[in-house]
Amino acid sequence: MPPRTRRTSGPQPNEAARLADQFQAAGFTKRDIARIINRDPSLVSQFYTRGKGAVFVPALTHVLSAVRTAGITDLSELAALAAPHITRRTTATGARARVRTKAVLITPTGTGTGRAGSQAIASGSARLRPLIAEAARQRLRLAFTVRMPKTGYTLASGSRTDSPGIRRDVIQRADHTEERSYGSASTGGFDAADFARRVDAADGDVTAAVRQWLLETGRIHEDAHIAHLEIRTWRPR
């Protein structure tokens, strides 16, 4: 009778996950790895949970070699090294597979909207960064709505000091969170270019940039956490 094969406690990590581990051992984060391969940080997590990432193995191997031999740590430089080694998947017929992404839509009038839920918030609302960058390029204005526990705000609900000139009422949720809007077409909103600089200063973390503005303006407590975020853009008259 042939010997029985022992079952392991779980699936073994694939090559992309092993490379990601080596990057993290070298001091990089999953978000850094995502920037290097120009993808959302959630994809890097799927190297471990869903076995994805095979297409990025050549790029990650090449970049890791550059980190070890040349000591390169600048993410933009590493991303430039990775780009030529990233190829699109192919279908069974040999055609290039489509990448399933959410399009960044800004209409000819400058109107655009992007939202980030709890999972995207945790990874820095990366999906909103291209919208902000494009709004900055087109010299648009923007506004945003944040949702967080009521206890996170320092000002009372509906306070004109909190959102002066905003007609929209504060939206209170059953889970004890509130949505509050900042900026509008009637009040002029915010300069998208200035906001894009804030995002860049936060290493691309849109959540951190919004949270920093809320802290600087005294609207939230230090321990407050954003649960949902929405960005809106328009063209100034």
Whether 74 and 24 share a structural domain: yes
Question: In terms of pLDDT, which residue wins out, 120 or 26?
Answer: 26
Whether 200 and 154 share a structural domain: yes
Rg (CA), the chain: 21
Whole-Å CA distances, 39 to 79, 130, 153, 159: 11, 12, 33, 39
Whether 60 and 131 share a structural domain: no
Whether 139 and 64 share a structural domain: no
Measured distance CA(153)–CA(161) in Å, rounded:
12
Whether 208 and 156 share a structural domain: yes
- The model carries a pTM of 0.56
Report how many domains make up the chain. Answer: 2
What is residue 33's three-state secondary structure?
A: helix
Average pLDDT on 106-134 reads 86
Measured distance CA(177)–CA(228) in Å, rounded:
10
Whole-Å CA distances, 49 to 13, 41, 42, 78, 137: 9, 13, 10, 25, 36
Q: Are 68 and 54 in contact (CB under 8 A)?
A: no
Whether 81 and 116 share a structural domain: no
The label of the residue with tokens 């740590």 reads: 73
Most confident stretch, 96-105, 112-121, 193-202? 193-202
Confidence (pLDDT) at 159:
80
Tens of pLDDT, residues 150-205: 999 999 887 888 876 665 557 777 788 889 999 888 888 999 999 999 999 998 99
Segments forming the whole domain that contains residue 38: 15-85
Measured distance CA(218)–CA(48) in Å, rounded:
39
Whether 80 and 116 share a structural domain: no
Whether 117 and 227 share a structural domain: yes
Confidence (pLDDT) at 200:
92
